[in-house]
Amino acid sequence: MEQVQEKQRTEEFDASEIEYVIYGGEHHLPLIMNLVDQELSEPYSIFTYRYFVYLWPQLSFMAFHKGKCVGTVVCKMGDHRDSKFRGYIAMLVVIKPYRGRGIATELVTRSIQVMMESGCEEVTLEAEVTNKGALALYGRLGFIRAKRLFRYYLNGVDAFRLKLLFPQPEELHPFLPMMADRDDTQNHDDHSPREEFLLKSILFSEVVCKFSSLV
């Protein structure tokens, strides 16, 4: 879905004047719809909005400045393929005069916080490859570009699937499917999958440090 982030003329305000509100009911829906309709070219039917805010009201937030709605984030979460419990950021909008001041970051952060607390293992979204603002915002939050989707948008532009993986406690981490098949072919120390992976990571840092000293 779409994300909008470009800097243009700004409105003067102090960050403390922005009030962040969780979705509270039908009275918030027209505010969200107007904001998104105004900023995005893709038309979303009212069913789309209702789908998100009715099923996951705890994941949608709005930013108000002096009673005016200036930004919103709309999300969902649920079981995905590979039985991963995954959060998804569907829409993110901040009106032009209020951009570049961290409002979008704050909205997204709040959503992600709720997702994490609800037990999500990861969060994903799509963003146009040309949307530098969104890519920078999510990059700062630790999202990486997991995939590139060819001509994802109707105008022919590619998209990145951005993904944020939460740290998992060792026992729960679903690991690489191949690990189970290896036992008969390898003769090595018997590490658990997670341990193996951690060893690899340590190896990486260790070798990297060794390399630095070899230079």
Task: Give the residues across from 78 on adjacent strands.
Answer: 86
- Secondary structure of residue 18 in the 3-state scheme: strand
C-alpha–C-alpha distance, residues 112 and 114, integer Å: 5
The answer to whether 107 and 72 have CB atoms below 8 angstroms apart is yes
- Sites for another protein among residues 47-106 (CB under 8 A): 47-48, 50-51, 54, 76
- Sites for another protein among residues 150-209 (CB under 8 A): 150-151, 154, 156, 158, 160, 163-167, 176-179, 181-182, 184-189, 196-201, 203-204, 207-209
CB of 101 to another protein, least distance (A): 18
Residue 71 has, within 13 A of its CA and on its CB side, a CA count of 24
CB of 176 to another protein, least distance (A): 5
Tell whether residue 210 is a contact of another protein (CB under 8 A): yes
Q: Which is nearer to another protein, 15 or 178 (CB)?
A: 178
Kindly report the backbone phi and psi dihedral angles of residue 41, in degrees, each rounded to the nearest multiple of 5, phi listed first: -85, -25
Contacts of 148 (CB under 8 A, 6+ apart): 129, 158, 159, 160, 161
Q: How many residues bind another protein (CB under 8 A)?
A: 65
Q: Which is nearer to another protein, 66 or 210 (CB)?
A: 210
Sheet with 68-79: strands ordered across: 18-22, 61-65, 68-79, 85-94, 122-128, 159-165, 144-149
Q: Which is nearer to another protein, 15 or 214 (CB)?
A: 214
Please state the separation of Cα 73 from the chain's center in Å: 11
CB of 97 to another protein, least distance (A): 25
The answer to whether 25 and 17 have CB atoms below 8 angstroms apart is no
CB of 66 to another protein, least distance (A): 27
Residues interacting with another protein, by CB under 8 A?
A: 26, 29, 43-48, 50-51, 54, 76, 109, 112, 116, 129, 139-142, 144-151, 154, 156, 158, 160, 163-167, 176-179, 181-182, 184-189, 196-201, 203-204, 207-212, 214-215
